[in-house]
Amino acid sequence: MALRYVVLDFDGTCTQVELVQAGFLSSYLAILAKANGRTADALRPAWEAALAEVRAASPGAGWTLFGAPSTAPAAADPYILSGEASALLVRKGTIQQVPADAYARAYAANPAPWRPEVPKVLAALVQRGLKIGFISNSERLAIQVRLTDLLHADRRLRGKIVVHGDAAKFKVHEIPLGADSPGAAHRAAFEKLDGAVRADGLSRPIYLRRGAYFEALCGLWQDLGAKGDAIAETIVCGDIWDLDLAMPRALGAAVHLIRRAAPFETYAYELAQLATPKDASKDLNGLVDHVDRLRKQPR
């Protein structure tokens, strides 16, 4: 296979979210309680009940940020879970408001550490002649700073990696008519996507036409020097099927799933989407193995 590009998600894919999830949820609760004139201890029973209710309903219940139509499992990670649990508390009348910056403040207070293998994996991919980029919902500058800090001893490697943040992978929308953007240049590929697909064991559909994510992919290819549509030369690595991998796979990319750790284990329906069990791994070393297998395939 003529593989040239590797696209990485950030949170959960390259970071160990499980190590900070308890602290993140505790910080989120404190912020929520203060905004509603309560103490964290007073709100905790209702908060924990809401978390449990969302967990029990997921993955059939989905992420509904900004009115999105269930674009990922509601309990895929602590970041999504906190938003869905707080929205549930508002609907129940338990609290009156959720501060707009609640997630950002809790996230900043509890940075998830990098997976220890990340520097070695990035170096291995570059050594294979591949071009690497990150696409994440998180803020671009924050990822750039963390990546620069991680690779401070290898500035040459850092200089080869491109970051696209604020990708809004959760948004399901079309590419606007008359848009002058990287995605608009590849509108024909986007318009071949189905609106949604069904997965066995999942009660909600998986939505594919995520215009913002498509724009981010096309912009990344442009920044990496691709000529035209590079989807067939790309492998995308992520930890949440719906958000990270469903659309790229439908477009024609190879995909690799990083299995989430407890207490946010990967759902069975996500693993069932893969062509082979080897297309998933518990860490990023499995991505390198996947790349090597693809490169051995006849062109």
CATH number of the domain that residue 243 is part of? 3.40.50.1000
Same domain as 231, residue 155: yes
Same domain (yes/no): 74, 121: no
Domain co-membership, 208 together with 66 = no
Judge if 104 and 134 occupy the same domain: no
Given a contact cutoff of 8 angstroms between Cβ atoms, the answer to whether 270 and 216 are in contact is: no
Gap between the Cα atoms of 63 and 243, Å rounded = 10
Check residue 143 and give its pLDDT: 97
Q: What is the pLDDT along the chain (299 residues), one digit of tens a residue?
A: 589 999 999 999 999 999 999 999 999 999 999 999 999 999 999 999 999 999 999 999 999 988 888 999 999 999 999 999 999 999 999 999 999 999 999 999 999 999 999 999 999 999 999 999 999 999 999 999 999 999 999 999 999 999 999 999 999 999 988 888 888 888 999 999 999 999 999 999 999 999 999 999 999 999 999 877 899 999 999 999 999 999 999 999 999 999 999 999 999 999 999 999 999 999 999 999 999 999 988 75
Backbone region of residue 261 per phi and psi (left: phi > 0; alpha: psi in -120 to 50; beta: other values): beta
CB 244 within 8 A of CB 8: no
| 33 & 69 share domain | yes
Do 238 and 263 have their domain in common?
Answer: yes
Q: Domain containing 11: what range?
A: 5-16+113-296
Q: Do residues 197 and 282 share a domain?
A: yes
3-state secondary structure of 108: helix
Number of domain units in the chain? 2
Q: Are residues 264 and 136 in the same domain?
A: yes
pLDDT of residue 179: 86
The reported pLDDT for the residue numbered 298 is 72
Residue 299: the pLDDT is 59
Which of 55, 85, 109 lies at the terminal end of a domain, its last residue? Answer: 109
Same-domain status, 166 and 233: yes
Widest pairwise Cα distance in the chain: 64
| The domain boundary residue, chosen from 88, 109, 130 | 109
pTM of the predicted model as reported, rounded to 2 decimal places: 0.96
Q: Position 295: which residue type?
A: R
| Residue 266 shares a structural domain with residue 170 | yes
b/e map of 146-176 (b: 16 or more CB within 10 Å)?
bbeebbeeeeebbebbbbbbebbbbbbeebe
Are residues 258 and 290 located together in one domain of the fold?
yes
Last residue within a domain, chosen from 74, 109, 144: 109
CA gyration radius, the chain? 19
Please choose, from the candidates 276, 236, 282, 242, the residue with its C-alpha nearest in 3D space to the C-alpha of residue 255: 236
- On whether both 45 and 188 belong to a single domain, the answer is no
Residue 1's pLDDT is what?
A: 54
Helices 102-109 and 21-35 sit at what angle, rounded to 10 degrees?
140
DSSP letter at 97 equals -
